[in-house]
Amino acid sequence: MRILFVDMDYFYAACEEVRHPELKGKPLLVSSPGGKSRGVVESCNYEARRLGIKSAMPVMDALKIKPDIQCVQADHDYYDEQSGRIMAFLKTFTTRMEVISVDEAALDIGSMGHDDESMLANKIKDGIFNEVGLPCTIGISKGKILAKMVCDSAKPNGIKILEDDEIRGFLWSRSVEDIPGVGRKTAERLGKRGIRTIGDLSRVNPVVLRDAVGSFSKELHDLASGIDNSVIIEHCETLSIGRERTLENPTSDIDRASDTLKALVGEVMDDLDKHQFLLKTITAKVKYTDFSDRIHSKSLSHPTDSRDVLLREATSLLKDLMSSKKARKIGVRVSSFTGKSKQKKLF
Ligand SMILES: [Mg+2]
């Protein structure tokens, strides 16, 4: 398997630089709501990073470092729109692709007959720039986790290809914290046992490792040995998940359709769980007894995987649709997915 991993560079801040070119070239941060008093840094450009400003830092602290830093409040609708354009472009290169987050994707390029990986990476990088004017970094290796690590090592604005016989050399000198999913706490637990580099990790007794990090140990040990069995979870084929069903008795009363609705929501959520997605957009659909149909959508302010939220929102959307005519068929569809960030799991 060959995986090409794309990660947009300083995505939100770069999006702001594109639509406000006057912000370019000077330190810039994108803040969460709350701005200068209560906000945190969601993204910042490299001019700001060079000063020591980082994501997740309170904006107040960034202002102490650079009092006149340019500060823009995050506009996620705009970033989602740019992300959609990038993902649609990437999808033209493979039938197997995983959208990992708003600015990251993994493409299975092994079976696509792309013989020159370097040429392909350049083509994708240039294509994204032409499409949205944004820089990205690309890493290629035999698995998703390795490709992400290779990508991280080539940031910003880079391309790096790791051949199978280079994997150990690449991995072993790196810190355990370079492994996606290994945070500061896990690194501390490993450090106490003398495990600091990925090379240390590859040589450690599995029992010691299990004692330090529990069930995470197998994945870590495998990776340190160059084994990367991470799989691509395709969701480009799954841009939405939906179910619809004919009602036993046509009705314009939402309460009388509630059992059917609950079943639909349950099935949609089971599917969503399988893919480890969070949903943001909910669409309800009604087919009436006169064979006309209508749909009604809503986007939530935050992604969710809650059955209760989906049931509540779908019920209210359907209620609006069923006010006049009798429904003979109802449907629920969810879309605008983001991946769940899993703890203790590499992806
Ligand atoms: Mg990024």
The CATH number linked to 176 is: 1.10.150.20
281 & 207 share domain = no
> According to the per-residue pLDDT averaged within each range, which of 2-16, 22-36, 71-85 is highest?
2-16
Residues 283 and 262 in one domain: yes
Asked whether 15 and 45 are in contact (CB, 8 A), the reply is no
Q: What pLDDT score was predicted for residue 238? A: 53
**How far is Cα 283 from Cα 204, in angstroms, rounded to an integer?**
51
Distance 329 CA to ligand 1 centre (A): 42
Q: How far is the CA of 325 from the centre of ligand 1 (A)?
A: 48
Angle between helices 206-213 and 184-192 (to 10 degrees): 140
Identified catalytic residue from 104, 219, 234, 313: 104
Domain annotation covers residue 200: yes
How close is the Cα of 124 to the center of ligand 1, in Å? Answer: 16
pLDDT digits (tens, 9 = 90+) for 143-162: 999 999 999 999 999 999 99
145 and 201 in a single domain? The answer is no
Last residue of a domain, one of 20, 50, 76: 76
How far, in Å, from the CA of 8 to the mean position of ligand 1? 4
pLDDT at 142 over 70: yes
Output the six-digit token pair for 64.
């102490």
CA of 259 to the centre of ligand 1 (A): 43
* HSE value, Cβ hemisphere, 13 Å, CA-based, for 272: 31
Residue-number span of the structural domain to which 23 is assigned? 12-76
- Whether residue 234 is contained in a domain is answered as no
Band (pLDDT 50/70/90 cuts) for residue 234 is low
Give a yes or no: residue 347 inside a domain. Answer: no
Neighbours of ion ligand 1 (CB under 5 A): 7-8, 11, 103
Q: Are residues 310 and 244 in the same domain?
A: yes
Any domain includes 88: no
Domain membership flag for residue 176: yes
Cα(first)–Cα(last) distance of the chain, in Å? Answer: 17
Structural domains in the chain (count): 4
Residue 291 neighbours by CB distance under 10 Å: 8
**Res. 340 pLDDT band, cuts 50 70 90:** low
* 104 catalytically annotated: yes
Neighbour tally for 64: CB within 10 Å = 8
Per the domain annotation, does 89 fall within a domain? no
Based on the domain organization, do 204 and 256 belong to the same domain? no
Q: What is the pLDDT of residue 206?
A: 86
State the Cα–Cα distance between residues 306 and 314, nearest whole angstrom: 12
Taking only the tens place, the pLDDT of each residue in 278-298 is 888 899 999 888 878 888 888
Q: Is the dihedral of CA 129, 133, 137, 140 positive or negative?
A: negative
Q: How far is the CA of 103 from the centre of ligand 1 (A)?
A: 5
